[in-house]
Every structure is written in structure tokens, then in C-alpha cells.
Amino acid sequence: MDTLTTLAERVAELEGALARERERVHALEDIGAALGSTLDPSELLTLVLERVSRVMDAERSTLYLLNDAGDELRAEVAQGEDVQEIRLPVGEGLAGTVAKSGRSLNIKDAYKDPRFDGAWDKRTGFRTRSTLCVPLKNQHGRTIGVVQVLNKRSGYFSQEDEALLSALGAQAAVFIENSKLFHSVLTKNMALVQAQEDLEAKVRELDVLFEIAQVAAGATELDELLEGVLARTMRAVGAEAASILLTDDETGELRFRAAVGGEPEAVRRVRIALGQGICGWVAQHGVPQVVNQVDQDERHSVRLAESIGYNPNSVLCVPLTLPHGAGAMELLNKAHGVQDFTRDDLKLATVIAGHVSTAITDSRLREHQARRERLSSIGQFLSSVLHDLKTPLTVISGYARLLADEQEPEKRGAYSEIVLRQVHLMTAMTRETLAFARGERKLWVRKVYLYKFFEELSEQLERDFEGRGITVDLQLNDRGTARFDEEKLRRAIVNLARNAAEALGEGGGTFSMEVDRDAAGGLVLRFSDDGPGVPESIRDRLFEAFTTAGKAHGTGLGLAIVRSIVEEHGGEIQLDVSGGRTTFVLRIPQTEEADGDQESGRSAA
């Protein structure tokens, strides 16, 4: 009977051991399946610790991981009713000692080991008896953490338990490293995606700025520039309408200088006080604003919205930084069903506003510079006109005296005709001056009979040179017709003749005029004298305004006027100093256009 009892007890003991082994096998299977099922470290390690506690028949388990610096353990997962964050310096406590040495610790009574720190027991009320700590090592053999089990329910932890926990720790270490690698790759991929998005945003921004730079370079008017910029800004930000406001120099009010979308014509007629509405507030304070619920902003002007016939739901407005006055760029309503403007929209609009401010400043500087140059040109042009008026006034004065003394009707009629011709010339100069002031430069190109033109001109010059010992020599190699502005070319030749007379001085000499054609049928005019010639010091700038040398009353405008008239005709002028003569060669190309006004250039009024 005793034998049967002993045998039954042995069988029960074996069955219990078999059940425990089965439970261990199931736990190991669960841990293996879990390791392959998820990469979430928190979820997996919690599951692993539950299985480890069951397999090891322990009351609690804790898994520590080393920080990146390798000097502190932190409990990633811990079991217990009152779980708190546990941080443990490497080398302190049982787990810290294992992390430092890389070797396991199996202790039957923790309170008898001087390395044990009972402070956590005091805080939590838990009583630590036996403990088993094994290091977690990666594939390179480097310790990355520690797994610790506490209080074997049936005695103490055995060497078999130690070997099993080491095996489980090795699997957990592989998972932890894989999880770190996965999250590192994931983080890097997310960073790459973000970098790609940022790069694409920058590329879009650069594309817009490049287009704006192209618009700024190609626009001739400020309004054209602003409308081109607004159209591209709207597309880049995704807005339905946009406008630019600038202060009026005279009234100080804000004027909608450009508008795109909505009702642009109505918008351009509106003027508002500085500070009125959201856009006026931004222009006054210089602070960008994003208002995605316009009706709830007290600065919103309902009357302004009604006056322009456009009621916005959202507004993005950025200030324009200008050296004089104030301004703002306003974008209204996100397009394509999007509700709100974003911070990225604000950043892009702010960058664009900086370029717009620079473009406006540059445009205004160009306008001011053009105005100054225009005034300077008008001054120089008036100087040239006054210079050219000397000849007709001298002729009129001379012939007026002759008319007073002349009794013969025939001669008086001839003198009167000469005076009237000079008055006609002065009238033409006046018309030209007014046209220049309006920004118009035109030629009255028509068919001219060369024989008649140069014969009359030769007679006029002979009368002008009378008593000065100067002979006029005319060689008409071509006696046909040509097309040019008769009055302007006459002015140019008279200036050349006057220059020659001043160069010849009191000793007199010969002023020669030769009319010819080139191979292409262009008119070639040569005017020469046998005076002392042009000083070499001024030859390179002879045709520049106010260039003169050795003339008591010279203005330095004569040859500049000649070159201007020749270039207006599309021709060129050259100087030839050789053989003891100074020769100016004028080449006037001939075209087959109809007679009348021919525009040769236009500047802004």
C-alpha cells in the first residue's frame, strides 16, 4: 500500500512538473509569436514580461534599458500595482551592477546583499526576497539593458531559471535592437519626407520668386508689374482675389493700386484712410495678419467690403516695407474649397512682399530718375533750340534792316520771302520743342528735290558768310530726289557750316558740300573746310553735348545736335581729318515708306 502511495505521489509530481514545462513551452511560444507580430516596443515588452513572470514563477518582473550615454538604466516596462518611473545609475543597485559587469546575478535573499537598495520597497510596500538579474546583450555582445525577476513563488531561482531567463533576454534584446532600427529608419524616412516637402515648398517659392523677377524685369509700368506679381502670388498661395495698397503722396490715403480677381475695376477706384479695415491696419502698424474668420474681427470694414462688392471669409495681409509711405499686400479667400490660410501661406506671402517692396522702390527710383533725366534732356534740348535760333534771328535781323532801306518792290519781296522762311523755321523748332516736352520725337520725312534743297541752302550760307571771306563750294553728284526731314537736315547742315566758319576764323577759306550716293542707294553728304582741324584731345567725344575747344561763345551743342538728327534718320556721322581738310561724312539710308510723320523714338512723358 505504501508503495502505491509513493508511486501515486511520484506520478503527481511528474505530472505537475510536466504541466509546468508545458506552461513554459506555451509561454515561450507566446513570446516567440509576439516577437514576430509587432514592432511596438511598449506593447511587446509588456507581453514579454507577463510571460517571463509566469515562466519564471516570479511575482514581478522589470525590464531596464540603458540610455544613449550608457550611464543610466531606465525601467521601460515594470509590473506592480503602483508602477513608478525607475531610473538607476549604472553600477548602483543589483540591476545597475549587472549593467556594469555584463554578468548575471542570482540572489536568494536580497536584503543580505550590500548592493541591494531597499528604497523602492519602502516606497511601494513591496518586499523583495529572491532576485534574478540577467543582462540584455545585442548581436555585438554589448549590454543594452537588464531584465530582473523578483521573488520565486516556490523557493529560489535555479541555474535552470537563470539559463532560461538569459535565453529569453537574448530574444528580447534582438527585438529591442530591431525595434530601435525600425524606428530609426521610420524617423529618418519621416525626416526625408518632411525634407522633401520642405524642398518642394522651397522650389515652389523659388519658382514664384523667379516669375516675379521676370515680371519685374519685363514690366515697363508699375501697375503692370504689380498686377503680374499679384496674379502669381494668388496662384502660389491659392487665393481667390488679391490687391496691393499704396499711400497717395498727396493725400496720405491708401489707394488700391492693383487688384486681381473679384471686382478689380471697382477696387481700384476705392481709397481708404490709413488704419481702416484689416489691410489699412496692417499698412499702418507693419504687422502681418491672418484672419480666417473675418466677420469676427472688429477691424473688418463691412462698408468697405460692400463698396467693392466683395465679401471675404478669410484674409491674409502682409505689410510692404517702403522708404516713403506705407503699403500692404492683401490675399482674400482660399480657393478650391480650402477654408483657412496657413502659416506656410503667411511665410510665402511675407517673402513675396519683401520682393514686391524692393520692386516698387526700384520702380519709383527709376521713375524719379527718368523724370530727372527728362528734365535734363528738355534743358539740353532747349539749349540746342536756343543755339539754333541764332541763325534765323540773325537772318531776320539782317533782312529786316535791308527791308527798311530797300525801295524796289522786287527786292523787298525777295527779302520778305527770306524772312518768312526763317519764321517758318522758328515755328518748326517750336513745334519740335513742344513735341519733345510731351515725350514725342518724330521726323517729317518726305520726298525732297536735292538740287533745289542744296541750291537754296548754298545761297543762304553765302549770305550768312558774306563779308567773312568764306566761299561755299557745292558739288551735286546726285541731282535727283531723296527722303528725309527737310527742316531738321537743314538745321544739321547749318550747324556744320557755322562750325566750319568759326574754325576758319577771320582768314576765311572754303566750305565744301558734296552730295552723293552709296552702293545701297543711301544718301552720302560730305561737308569739309580747310581750317586748322579738330584738336585731337576732343576727337573721341566730339559729338557729345557741351564739348568745345577754343571758341569764345561756343556752347558745345552744334555737333551733338547734328549727330542726334542724323541718328533719328537711322544714319551715322563720321569725322575724317586728312589732307589738310576736316570732313564730316553723313550717311542717310533711304527707305520706301510713305511720306509723312515717321516716329523715330519715344520717351515717357
Residues 242 and 117 in one domain: no
Give the whole-angstrom CA distance, residue 546 versus residue 387. 12
Residue 573 domain boundaries: 441-602
Helix (H, G, I), strand (E, B) or coil at 299: coil
Residues 285 and 226 in one domain: yes
Residues 136 and 253 in one domain: no
Residues 181 and 226 in one domain: no
- Whether 222 maps to a domain, the answer reads yes
Cα 570 to chain centroid distance, Å, stands at 39
- Whether 397 maps to a domain, the answer reads no
C-alpha dihedral sign at 238, 243, 246, 251: negative
Residues 259 and 308 in one domain: yes
Residues 479 and 541 in one domain: yes
Q: Are 338 and 239 in contact (CB under 8 A)?
A: no
Helix (H, G, I), strand (E, B) or coil at 154: coil
Give the whole-angstrom CA distance, residue 552 versus residue 502. 10
pLDDT of residue 137: 87
Nearest alpha-carbon partner for 51 in 32, 66, 65: 32
pLDDT of residue 600: 45
Nearest alpha-carbon partner for 528 in 513, 508, 548, 549: 513
pLDDT of residue 472: 93
* CA dihedral angle for residue 116, residue 117, residue 118, residue 122, rounded to 10 degrees: -160
Q: Where are the alpha helices (DSSP H) in 438-513?
A: 450-464, 486-504
**Kind of pairing, strands 72-78 and 239-247?**
unpaired
- How many domains does the chain fold into? 3
pLDDT of residue 547: 47
Alpha-carbon distance values, 338 to 208, 262, 292, 402 (Å): 21, 17, 11, 89
Give the whole-angstrom CA distance, residue 428 versus residue 385. 11
What are the strands of the beta sheet with 327-334, ordered from one edge? 271-272, 254-260, 239-247, 327-334, 315-320, 289-291
- Whether 194 maps to a domain, the answer reads no
Q: Where are the alpha helices (DSSP H) in 293-449?
A: 302-308, 343-405, 409-437
Task: Name the residue with cell 466677420.
Answer: 295
- Whether 396 maps to a domain, the answer reads no
Task: Name the residue with cell 518611473.
Answer: 85
Indicate the burial class of 5 (C-beta count within 10 angstroms; 0-12, 13-18, 19 or more): exposed
Give the whole-angstrom CA distance, residue 549 versus residue 544. 13
- Whether 57 maps to a domain, the answer reads yes
**At 292, which amino acid appears?**
N
Give the whole-angstrom CA distance, residue 563 versus residue 184. 76
* Buried/exposed code over 434-463 (b: 16+ C-beta within 10 A; e: otherwise): eebeeeebbbbbeebebeebbeebbebbee
**Kind of pairing, strands 58-66 and 143-152?**
antiparallel
pLDDT of residue 491: 83
> How is residue 531 annotated by DSSP?
S
Give the whole-angstrom CA distance, residue 353 versus residue 98. 62
What are 465's three cell numbers?
558768310
Residues 173 and 222 in one domain: no
pLDDT of residue 411: 77
| DSSP bridge pairs for 243 | 259, 330
Nearest alpha-carbon partner for 493 in 462, 461, 468, 465: 461
Q: Which residues of the chain have pLDDT under 50?
A: 546-547, 549-556, 594, 599-605
Nearest alpha-carbon partner for 460 in 394, 405, 385: 394
* CA dihedral angle for residue 281, residue 283, residue 287, residue 290, rounded to 10 degrees: 70
| DSSP bridge pairs for 258 | 244
Nearest alpha-carbon partner for 230 in 293, 149, 316: 316
Give the whole-angstrom CA distance, residue 181 versus residue 436. 79
CATH label of the domain that carries residue 334:
3.30.450.40
Neighbours of 467 (CB within 10 A): 6
- Whether 565 maps to a domain, the answer reads yes
Residues 112 and 32 in one domain: yes
Nearest alpha-carbon partner for 513 in 487, 475, 541: 475
What's 372-402 look like in SS3?
HHHHHHHHHHHHHHHHHHHHHHHHHHHHHHH
Question: Among the three residues 325, 341, 367, which one is the final residue of a domain in this structure?
Answer: 367
Question: Among the three residues 367, 393, 417, which one is the final residue of a domain in this structure?
Answer: 367
- Whether 421 maps to a domain, the answer reads no
Residues 357 and 457 in one domain: no
**Phi, psi (5° rounding) for residue 88?**
-140, 120
What are 337's three cell numbers?
474649397
**Phi, psi (5° rounding) for residue 265?**
-65, -40
- Whether 431 maps to a domain, the answer reads no
Cα 554 to chain centroid distance, Å, stands at 50
Residues 486 and 590 in one domain: yes
What's 537-578 look like in SS3?
HHHHHCCCCCCCCCCCCCCCCHHHHHHHHHHHCCCEEEEEEE
Give the whole-angstrom CA distance, residue 3 versus residue 7. 6
Question: Among the three residues 185, 200, 227, which one is the final residue of a domain in this structure?
Answer: 185
**Phi, psi (5° rounding) for residue 286?**
70, 25
Give the whole-angstrom CA distance, residue 420 versus residue 242. 61
pLDDT of residue 549: 46
For 201, left (φ over 0), alpha (ψ -120 to 50), or beta? alpha
Residues 125 and 227 in one domain: no
**At 425, which amino acid appears?**
L
Give the whole-angstrom CA distance, residue 179 versus residue 225. 56
Residues 492 and 582 in one domain: yes
CA angle 501, 391, 546 (to 5 degrees): 70
